[in-house]
């Protein structure tokens, strides 16, 4: 799923460093208003493309009885996730390529499936969306997609410069083409076309947009 040239150690460090910015007050305010009140007492949550797993740890802190599962295609990412999350957190991390042929989620009636900063990596997301639709709880199941959206090159470069991360200009230009795959309308259309009912779209920054659907 990741580009073969991706430095996974460096990427995991950037994801950890930017986590508080990406999952700030506005994100959690929307989550608490739209999703959390409609989850059961012990919800089942799958995070697809979990990276270093910090999002699931946030969920664990907010919903301590949640049953949490994180999938990622990178051995390095899963290793980082297991190191960063407490052993008693009971979050189950597994190496699985969600963009691979034949990928299946081994459960049905899932209460919440999330795809955070991963959707743009998937060349053909239709089979994955079909799998997700068949795995969500028929009544009340949520899909949350949070990802990069198209922006100007100038805004993209300035954003990364503000992070003061040691990323070469060449690497930034390459990542720009990856992160600018979809516009908000593209993702909205993809979700609607694949039979999801969109209940919330929120542009959290000039480059990041949140989609919540059922």
Give the pLDDT band of residue 87 (cuts 50, 70, 90).
confident
Tell me how far CA of residue 155 lies from CA of 15, 118, 207, in angstroms: 19, 21, 8
Phi, psi at 23, each rounded to 5°: -115, 70
pLDDT above 90: residue 109: yes
Whether the CB-CB separation of 114 and 46 falls below 8 Å is answered with yes
The domain ranges of the chain are 8-98+105-148+159-213
Query: For 169-193, what is each residue's pLDDT tens digit?
Result: 888 898 898 899 999 999 999 999 9
CA distance 213 to 114: 10
pLDDT above 90: residue 97: yes
185, two tokens: 């309308």
Q: Which residues, at least 6 apart from 178, have a Cβ–Cβ distance to it below 8 Å? A: 3, 120, 121
Beta strands 92-95; 67-72: pairing state: parallel
**pLDDT for res 60:** 95
pLDDT > 90: percent of the chain: 78
Range of lowest pLDDT (5-9, 76-80, 198-202)? 5-9
- Of 28, 5, 84, nearest to 52 by C-alpha is 84
Whether the CB-CB separation of 163 and 131 falls below 8 Å is answered with no
pLDDT above 70: residue 62: yes
**pLDDT for res 4:** 62
Give the pLDDT band of residue 159 (cuts 50, 70, 90).
confident
Task: Tell me 202's DSSP state.
Answer: E
CA distance 100 to 70: 16
Question: How many other β-carbons are positioned within 10 Å of the β-carbon of residue 44?
Answer: 20
**pLDDT for res 88:** 72
**CATH code of domain 8-98+105-148+159-213:** 3.40.50.150
Whose tokens are 């691979």? That residue is 100
Give the pLDDT band of residue 85 (cuts 50, 70, 90).
confident
Average pLDDT over residues 141-161: 94
């Amino acid at each position: 799923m990741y580009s073969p040239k991706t430095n996974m150690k460096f990427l995991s460090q950037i994801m950890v460093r930017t986590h508080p910015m990406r999952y700030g007050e506005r994100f959690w305010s929307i989550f608490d208003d739209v999703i959390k009140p409609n989850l059961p007492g012990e919800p089942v949550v799958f995070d697809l493309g979990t990276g270093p797993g910090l999002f699931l740890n946030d969920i664990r802190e907010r919903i301590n009885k949640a049953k949490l599962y994180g999938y990622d295609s990178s051995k390095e990412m899963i290793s980082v996730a297991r190191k960063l999350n407490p052993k008693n957190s009971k979050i189950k991390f597994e190496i699985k390529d969600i963009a691979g042929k034949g990928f299946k989620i081994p459960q049905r009636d899932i209460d919440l499936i999330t795809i955070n900063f991963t959707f743009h990596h998937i060349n053909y997301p239709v089979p994955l969306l079909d799998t997700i639709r068949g795995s969500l709880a028929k009544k009340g199941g949520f899909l949350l997609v949070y990802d990069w959206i198209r922006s100007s090159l100038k805004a993209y470069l300035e954003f990364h410069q503000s992070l003061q991360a040691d990323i070469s200009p060449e690497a930034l230009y390459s990542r720009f083409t990856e992160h600018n795959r979809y516009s908000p309308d593209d993702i909205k259309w993809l979700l609607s076309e694949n039979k999801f009912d969109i209940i919330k779209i929120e542009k959290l920054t000039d480059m990041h947009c949140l989609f919540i659907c059922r």
